[in-house]
Structure 1
Amino acid sequence: LVAQHLMKTVAAARLMGAECIVSGIRPAIAQTIVQLGIDLGSVLTRASLADALAYALGRQGIEVSRADAGASAR
């Protein structure tokens, strides 16, 4: 059911002219998508939200870098 809703959401967003990036798919959902034979070949996917944001910002010419862990503690 989640996989079906995901694909319908992607299709609806595309109809409105948006490009979708699907991120953070849990392993169980990924297995279900594969078992159902749903083709995600045309859907851009990234492992995490951070990866998806970095990709989207990179497409806009914005470079993303990780902050120094010590600097955030100050």
Structure 2
Amino acid sequence: MISNLKSDIEFRREKALELSSQVRRHLAAGGKFSIGDSPAINPDPAKRSETIDPTSILKRRKPPITRAEREALRKLAEAL
């Protein structure tokens, strides 16, 4: 079976070689590098804004009809 990743590996090989040569040149010129702390795997979610845009229209659910309104509608329907 032929791997689908083989072409991807070959595609990235040239870039990897270029990166490794850049690292060698940097170290040869007296440069240093350090390994820092890794970032959190699951970062905290973005903070919600406390302000509400006054131009936005809030979509609120209409309250359900009350029992009295329901009985009044039944009486109207029976009258028809």
Shared fold (TM-score greater than 0.5)?
Answer: no
The structure whose RCO (Cα within 8 Å, separation 6+) is larger is 1
Q: Could you say which structure has the higher helix fraction?
A: 1
